[in-house]
Structure 1
Amino acid sequence: MAENNATSETPERSRLARLMIDTRPLRRREFRLLWLGELVSETGSNIAVVALYVQVYRITGSALAVGGIGLVQFVPILLSALFGAPLVDRHDRRSILLIAHWCEAGAALLLLVGVWIGSPPLLLVYLAAALVAGSGSLALAARSAMTPNLVPHDELPAALALNQAMWNTCLIVGPALGGLLIARFGLGIAYGLDLVTFAAALISVRLMRPHPPVSTSSSTAPSREGALMEGPAESDAESFIEDEEGWARVTAGFRYLKGRRVLQATFIVDLIAMVFGMPRALFPVLAQVQFDAGPELVGLLFSAVAVGALIGALTSGWVHRIKRQGLAVLIAVALWGAGIVAFGLSGSSIGLALGCLAVAGGADVISAVFRNTILQRSVPDDLRGRLSGIHILVVTGGPRLGDMEAGLVATLASPTVSVVSGGVICILAVGALAILVPAFTNYRAPE
């Protein structure tokens, strides 16, 4: 009888194992060092994010001013994508990552000094926020370009899923802890912890070996099958790389995208989701005027999105079996929009609001895994920095534009109208993209 029971449970256990996240990349020393260092430092950074939004709302009492954080952060993100990302393709990526982390730590110190002086001017807070965004964008470009070289090719989707799990763990713990600490001890403790946690990232990156870019001419470029079926052959990528100087090197990533509509669509679909469907700039406003709460709830609203994303990442063992990855991205982004609409219509129910944000976050992480897989598998190594720079411009710049859009619509109409209309536009725009770019809808992962 016992043997029969054991035998009957084996298929279920096997199915569960296939569903759970693949942890093989953590056996690789370089990936493990990078992953663990970011786990600590990103937690501190997300504590500081809540403090930044709460501080600006306290200074101004304006949703538009909170949305202005996105505007001041978008400019350095754009500059980083244009001028910082090309450096990632020419110099040791570990060294660039160390420089970026030191700059991030300097920004955290500036915010902490602003709290110490008592009543910091809004311009000082905006300046520090801009430095955080620019240096963080450069760090993310370096990490993204390094990652495909830290693990075997077949473990790349698992490595990207682990990164999503790590980031979303930080997005849960950081904001939730930040909200509690701010409510109890004030803004200074949040910025102080952010500064201290950068030590983990600096130490872990220092322990890694150098990671210079790998020349396409001396490595195996992605096959034509992995070139997303459009645009020039991958072997033509050398024309973007050899003998490039000045502006040509800066714009090489954008020129590489020309004619590659599937790759373009991965960026467009994320811009749709983040510009119209990301209501985080309204969290301090909604916590006060809709839910009659304080910083604790602001932190929970930030964390709720990440809770769903973490669950999605931890149960992402099935993603490598999906061949129609373009369609999967479209479905996931539409579900994100639906979750945001439901959040906007949740009324004063905190539990329902948090649940809707979690559903949206789960859909978003699945979209991110597929989009990153499509991008990283199709780009030569010595263009990865520039393509990662464009990707980061979209991933990090999109929410900043979304902050401004959300704050503006909330000022002109109401916070609820801003949230709901953004989610609806997101769903409609995804449907339009599916029709206008059938190559993306029908895209299948190469064998």
Structure 2
Amino acid sequence: MSTGTDRIRSRLLPNTAPWRSSRDFRLVWASGAVTMLGSIFTLTAIPLQIADATGSPLAVGAVGAVELVPTVLLGLYGGVLADRADRRTVALVTEIALAALSALLLVNALLGAPLLWPLYVAAGCAAALQGLQQPSLEAMVPRLVPHDQLVAAGVLLSLRWSVVGLAAPGIAGVVIATAGTAPAYLLDVATFLVSIGLLARVRRVPSERDAEAPPLHDLIEGARYAARRPELVGTYLVDLAATVFALPTALFPFLAVESDALWALGLLYSASAAGSLLAAAFSGWTERVHRHGRPVLFSAALVGVVMVAAALCSNIWALLLCLAAAGAAHWLGDTFRGAIWNESIPDRLRGRAAGLELLIGSAGPALGDIRAGGLAARYGIRAALRSGGLACVASTGVLAAALPALWRYDRRTDPQVAAVRAATSGLGEQGG
């Protein structure tokens, strides 16, 4: 009986082998979880301080504009840096700088009359630092775990995001409402100190290539590499289609008002994380999938279908269920996109590929908010939801037809996967 139960559990529950096999992966995973927890407190506190100081929705929305440009520009350079420098060092130095920014926000919050401009400066600088840091963090993972555990490692990383993303916003809201913004910034500083201590214990992950060419040359080389692989281009474009057309975050406040359910606004924001968490919790089956391009396409189409269904929902609970289903589908696409990237991109190019991922990941939601807000203002909220869902399904179908390499991709026979596996054999065990 126990053997049968163990077999079922292994097929359903996430594979924790990367935790067991790599001490460094455990440290990076824990560092990220702690950092995310504190950062959510700061991300909740900054808009609240701006709203209290100005009373202007436009002033609050301007934070997104301040963050987008440095994230995109520094994210691209961060990808180049990740392929030139020691990735652990880049992650550690930027983490220290982020801690200093949170300390400055704490000092500002403790002033008798907190200043407004430091909030925007801190938001822009934090976005720039995260743009520099994120490619190195992502490019580290294939060097920390064995190649055959990369899918499992991606699942564990997404599970971390889902758990923290679901629980932290509610906790942050309660803390800020009862104690103010200063304790939120203090907690963020404390979590950064813990995270820095964890990252400092990770072994160095130096670049394996010469860095004599100008940075722009490296950036162009990375873009050309991606362009030569249509299955990679497909993963970027499918992700962009899903986030631009079917990520209606900007509509959540209006959906809550229209549904006469302001009490559910927080649930609307967390429904996607809840769906992601549920999908990740029963993700053992993902390691037995080899044609990764197909679930990438299916997941984007499913997101579109769910958004069309959401447009038809008048009941708030049905709407929340649709958003949770969309979150689960997004998780599925992200998991297999990450598997394609991690398993098939050479280490010397991995940082620049991560920079491109960051560019797409930042631009898509921002463009999606603009699209959804503009259409909702002209044609109504439900029309914005419905048209976005239909556009997502249609664009996914077009991409599947235009890029058959993504549909045919099979990790068992792909020559890029075989080359990366051979090149990285044994690297993941060094941190065990």
TM-score class normalised by the smaller sequence: 0.7 to 0.9
What CA distance in whole angstroms lies between the structure 2 residues aligned with 1:15 and 1:53?
45
Unaligned 5+ segments in structure 1 are 1-5, 216-240
Tell me the residue number matched to 2:203.
Answer: 209
Residues 362-373 of structure 1: matches in 2 within 5 Å?
362-373=328-339
Render the CA deviation track for 1:33-87: whole Å, top value 9, x for unaligned.
111111111122223334445555664554x665544333221111123222211
Q: CA deviation at 1:178?
A: 2.1
Tell me the residue number matched to 1:321.
Answer: 288
**Bigger Cα displacement from structure 2, 23-32 vs 66-75:** 66-75
- Relative distance call for 1:328 and 1:396 in structure 2 (3 A) is same
What CA distance in whole angstroms lies between the structure 2 residues aligned with 1:281 and 1:103?
30
1:142 aligns with 2:136: yes
Aligned pair count reads 410
Which residue identity does 2:294 align to in structure 1?
L
Tell me the residue number matched to 1:227.
Answer: none
Q: Under a length normalisation based on structure 1, what TM-score does the superposition of the two structures give?
A: 0.83
- Relative distance call for 1:422 and 1:49 in structure 2 (3 A) is farther
Which residue identity does 2:293 align to in structure 1?
G
Q: CA deviation at 1:334?
A: 1.6
Tell me the residue number matched to 2:426.
Answer: none
- Relative distance call for 1:154 and 1:420 in structure 2 (3 A) is same
Which residue identity does 2:387 align to in structure 1?
S
Which residue identity does 1:23 align to in structure 2?
T
Tell me the residue number matched to 1:244.
Answer: 213
Residues 269-418 of structure 1: matches in 2 within 5 Å?
269-287=238-256, 290-293=259-262, 297-347=264-314, 349=316, 351-418=317-384
Matched-pair contact (CA < 8 Å) for 1:271–1:398? yes
Residues 101-112 of structure 1: matches in 2 within 5 Å?
101-112=95-106
- Relative distance call for 1:132 and 1:343 in structure 2 (3 A) is farther
Which residue identity does 1:136 align to in structure 2?
Q
- Give the secondary-structure state (helix, strand or coil) at the position aligned to 2:284: coil
Candidates 246, 255, 276, aligned match of 2:224: 255
Q: CA deviation at 1:379?
A: 1.3
Matched-pair contact (CA < 8 Å) for 1:20–1:317? yes
Unaligned 5+ segments in structure 2 are 414-432
- Relative distance call for 1:205 and 1:277 in structure 2 (3 A) is same
What CA distance in whole angstroms lies between the structure 2 residues aligned with 1:168 and 1:144?
17
Which residue identity does 1:250 align to in structure 2?
L
Q: CA deviation at 1:91?
A: 0.9
Residues 115-130 of structure 1: matches in 2 within 5 Å?
115-116=109-110, 118=113, 120-121=115-116, 124-130=118-124
Which residue identity does 1:360 align to in structure 2?
A
**Bigger Cα displacement from structure 2, 128-137 vs 257-266:** 128-137
Q: CA deviation at 1:344?
A: 4.3
- Give the secondary-structure state (helix, strand or coil) at the position aligned to 1:364: helix
Tell me the residue number matched to 1:225.
Answer: none
RMSD of aligned residue pairs (Cα, Å):
2.6
Q: CA deviation at 1:13?
A: 4.1
Q: Under a length normalisation based on structure 2, what TM-score does the superposition of the two structures give?
A: 0.86
Tell me the residue number matched to 1:93.
Answer: 87
- Give the secondary-structure state (helix, strand or coil) at the position aligned to 1:251: helix
- Relative distance call for 1:421 and 1:200 in structure 2 (3 A) is farther
What CA distance in whole angstroms lies between the structure 1 residues aligned with 2:208 and 2:35?
28
What CA distance in whole angstroms lies between the structure 2 residues aligned with 1:30 and 1:129?
30
1:23 aligns with 2:16: yes
Tell me the residue number matched to 1:226.
Answer: none
| Sequence identity percentage | 36
Q: CA deviation at 1:353?
A: 2.9
Which residue identity does 2:269 align to in structure 1?
F
Tell me the residue number matched to 1:427.
Answer: 393
What CA distance in whole angstroms lies between the structure 2 residues aligned with 1:429 and 1:299?
30
What CA distance in whole angstroms lies between the structure 2 residues aligned with 1:184 and 1:417?
39
Q: CA deviation at 1:89?
A: 0.9
- Relative distance call for 1:48 and 1:420 in structure 2 (3 A) is farther
What CA distance in whole angstroms lies between the structure 2 residues aligned with 1:190 and 1:289?
32
Render the CA deviation track for 1:408-434: whole Å, top value 9, x for unaligned.
444445444434433332222112211
Render the CA deviation track for 1:104-141: whole Å, top value 9, x for unaligned.
234434544555554654x6544332222222232221
Matched-pair contact (CA < 8 Å) for 1:57–1:65? yes
What CA distance in whole angstroms lies between the structure 1 residues aligned with 2:90 and 2:73?
16
